[in-house]
Structure 1
Amino acid sequence: MIKGRVILTVAAVLAAGAMLGGCASRPGLDVLAPSLAEAPGATPHTVLVATTRARDPRPGVLFNGERSAKLDFATVTLTVPPTHKQGAIEWPKQAPGNPNTDMVVHEAVYRDTDAQFVADLNAQLAKRPRGEKNVFLFVHGYNTMFSEALFRLAQMAHDADATAVPVLFTWASRGKTEDYVYDNNSATAARDSLEHTLTLVAQSNAEKVTIMAHSMGNWLTVEALRQMKIAGTILPAKRVGNVILAAPDIDVDVFKSQLKRFGKPEKPFIVIVSHDDKALGISDFIAGGKQRLGAYNNDKELVALGAVVVDMTDVKSDGDELNHGKFAQLAGLRSQLRQSVEQNVTSSGGKVPETVEFGQIQISGVTPNFGGF
């Protein structure tokens, strides 16, 4: 009887999460249908994809939420409209979308082998000048459709005005609130594939690699990096830009044990937290009341373990009642954040301050190389 009550309670919590997030519109299944239309002022972005999702034969879908038996690849070119607002995703109201007002896919090509993925990556890197041949690899979180992960990465790359090649590692999330356990197992099963993807990126001509993970994707990312550290295959520090953990859905105690085994990194992990993150509150409940890293409030302890803590609690989250997607706003603030850190260092006589205030954002454990965020 008690077991039945627990199941009903968890179901009720997940349903509440669905209702809380219900105000945010989600794309249709065919949102990735390619468009041949062009728009003056629309900005193109080419995203390389590595995935453990299964291919989907339906037009405009590409990959679904079921697990593939092997790592798969794709290269997608899309555009961001001239009317784009920072932090937003302009979903097509109907496929294939209007590039004047919507984020629109123009070409999507499957790739079958490691060699094809690396070749496409090197082709994109060759378009960048020396010193800017970098990669930005994004790992999404729970309850995320392929199209949502793809467009979110394009939004961040665009808002940051980044020159790095965007690479999406997307694992088999079904994109449904009620599939939390399935998603968690899919993320766990994808650890070796993420490790393999990072190895392929390391084999490319990329000068530096920055990794950003969101929500449940952080569990997968930290585990993959931990595996590589133990195996001695981790990327050398000089080739790592930053490792950014946004709203990490990781048990705090588990993260502490991971870092102790991993060792204090040469470049500290950047942990983005928000104490009003309702999605992580739900995850806390499901996990038996164990606080998640993305809502942890002991910044000093995280700094001591080897982290820079970016606290976004006081930042207003437009259109996100769960307060779980605030990290996406940081892309548009990248230059200002870097300048703020540099100014604080200058005003402190060259010393790096323990904390930096930037509007409603507080940064603890600042280091000199944080300016590259």
Structure 2
Amino acid sequence: MPKVTRSSVHSSTPGRFRPGFVVLCVALLFLAGCGGRPGPGALAIATSNAPGTTEHRILIATTREKDATPDTYFNGERSPTLNYASAVVSVPPNHVTGQIEWPETLPGDPEKSYTTRAFTYLDGAAGFRAALKEEMAKRTPDHREVILFIHGYNTRFPEALYRFAQITHDADAPRIPVLFTWASRGTVTDYVYDNNSATAARDGLERTLREILDSGVSRVHIIAHSMGNWVLTETIRQVKLSNNPIPEDRIGAVILAAPDLDIDVFKSQLRRIGQRKTPFIVLVSRDDKALKASSLIAGGKQRVGRYEDEQELANLGVIVIDLTELEGTDAIDHGKFTQVAAVAPRLRVALQEAGLNTKPGDLNTHADTIGTAVGNTAKIAITLPVRILTAPVQVLSGGQ
């Protein structure tokens, strides 16, 4: 295992920008501008016939402000109340796992790119619960569960929607997809604004979780990415401290992908949250350039998603999956979690080799099985080699 190395940044002039921080910000700005990003009107409805496509209905709860611009729906400003919506997104037959095939022109060609097929605002929490009931009625009782996705920093609404459509499609799981999207402005330079928006979204996420469970859904599984993990872990902490805690068996797998969390804050949160029967799954990558920049902004403190001692993380009672050697799909190696659906079979093998009796099913099922197998002493770290489909998977469990 690699030794723990903590970034230490010294400056003789307090308050002055550090050279490393400036270089990284310039690099991130360059990378963000390397490809076009969706702007207003990016969710224009495509109505042409599209044989071979797959459509996914995604329910939406958001702290974003509604936007009257045609085909835009929500922007990056904060709403004082939760808003709800429903979207249908089609995935083209030429889709590559882990990728989003963005349209070259709007509204897009459904046979070649992601397109929006329908979009409707829902009538408050009652409309949201009604939509959940509609989706439950389409499924067998054992599949009446929700998968909830919380995006990260620098994410525009169309990006959050299409990313979750990609995850939903690649996972090929029958659960009901719900997107919780908070008010990120979707620009690299608005890190502080986004961080404050994430903090302000905690109550909205708690309300969303309660609305989902009040609808009759049996359980909710959660995936959070980057700064979305701040919203998630803080919300779990405040629910734990409330007079109305959510029963633990109603929350299934909780996957923290590339968490943009200070390691000391995360340890403090875990102490308050306590040990879960189903441990958190933490996806880390030591080459994550976005989290390197975040660490410098935060005074050199390591971020959980780039922490160099995964065994220490595992000793906290979480399951750590190290994706460092997995080739990223973006230039800053911050989006490797999008490929988890594709590597789930290798994870199953690794867990079986570790003596954890996993059974067929998706990653959520594996998390439940892991929790049953290791109880309150989960100490497992999985490292995925670069040739993931052929190379052996190394499993480190309990310090072995």
Given the two structures, how large is their TM-score scaled by the length of structure 2? 0.85
Deviations 1:135-162 (A, max 9, x none): 0100000000000000010000100101
Q: Percent identity?
A: 48
Where in structure 2 are the equivalents of 1:121-270 lying within 5 Å?
121-270=132-281
Name the SS for the 2:105 alignment partner: coil
Distance change >3 Å, CA 93–CA 33, structure 1 → 2: same
**Maintained 8 Å contact 2:62/2:182:** yes
Counterpart selection for 1:69 from 68, 80, 87: 80
In structure 2, the partner of 1:371 is none
Q: Displacement, 1:3?
A: 6.4
Deviations 1:284-304 (A, max 9, x none): 110010100000122222222
Distance change >3 Å, CA 283–CA 308, structure 1 → 2: same
Name the SS for the 1:46 alignment partner: strand
- Look up the equivalent residue of 2:343 and give its one-letter code: L
Q: How many pairs are equivalent?
A: 364
Matched, 1:329 2:329: no
- Look up the equivalent residue of 2:167 and give its one-letter code: M
**Maintained 8 Å contact 1:11/1:178:** no
| Distance in 1 (alpha carbons) for counterparts of 2:230 and 2:174 | 27
**Maintained 8 Å contact 1:21/1:321:** no
Name the SS for the 2:244 alignment partner: coil
- Look up the equivalent residue of 1:17 and give its one-letter code: L
Matched, 1:98 2:148: no
| Distance in 1 (alpha carbons) for counterparts of 2:394 and 2:80 | 43
Matched, 1:280 2:279: no
| Distance in 1 (alpha carbons) for counterparts of 2:241 and 2:23 | 40
- Look up the equivalent residue of 2:214 and give its one-letter code: Q
**Maintained 8 Å contact 1:75/1:110:** yes
Query: Considering only aligned residues, what root-mean-square deviation do their CA atoms show, in Å?
Result: 2.5
| Distance in 1 (alpha carbons) for counterparts of 2:356 and 2:316 | 26
Q: Displacement, 1:35?
A: 1.2
Deviations 1:49-75 (A, max 9, x none): 000101111112110001111110100
Where in structure 2 are the equivalents of 1:319-358 lying within 5 Å?
320-342=330-352, 344-345=354-355, 354-356=380-382, 358=384
| Distance in 2 (alpha carbons) for counterparts of 1:64 and 1:109 | 16
Distance change >3 Å, CA 297–CA 81, structure 1 → 2: same
| Distance in 2 (alpha carbons) for counterparts of 1:154 and 1:87 | 11
Please, which moves more after superposition, 337-346 or 165-174?
337-346
**Maintained 8 Å contact 1:309/1:365:** no
Name the SS for the 2:17 alignment partner: helix
Counterpart selection for 1:14 from 8, 19, 25: 25
Q: Displacement, 1:36?
A: 1.1
| Distance in 2 (alpha carbons) for counterparts of 1:309 and 1:172 | 29
In structure 1, the partner of 2:40 is 29
Counterpart selection for 2:66 from 55, 59, 62: 55
Name the SS for the 1:238 alignment partner: helix
Please, which moves more after superposition, 30-39 or 102-111?
30-39
In structure 2, the partner of 1:370 is none
Given the two structures, how large is their TM-score scaled by the length of structure 1? 0.91
In structure 2, the partner of 1:310 is 321
Q: Displacement, 1:6?
A: 2.8
| Distance in 2 (alpha carbons) for counterparts of 1:80 and 1:290 | 39
Matched, 1:293 2:330: no
> Where do 5+ consecutive residues of structure 1 fail to align?
367-373
> Where do 5+ consecutive residues of structure 2 fail to align?
1-11, 359-369, 387-392
Name the SS for the 2:143 alignment partner: coil
Q: Displacement, 1:4?
A: 6.6
Name the SS for the 1:205 alignment partner: coil
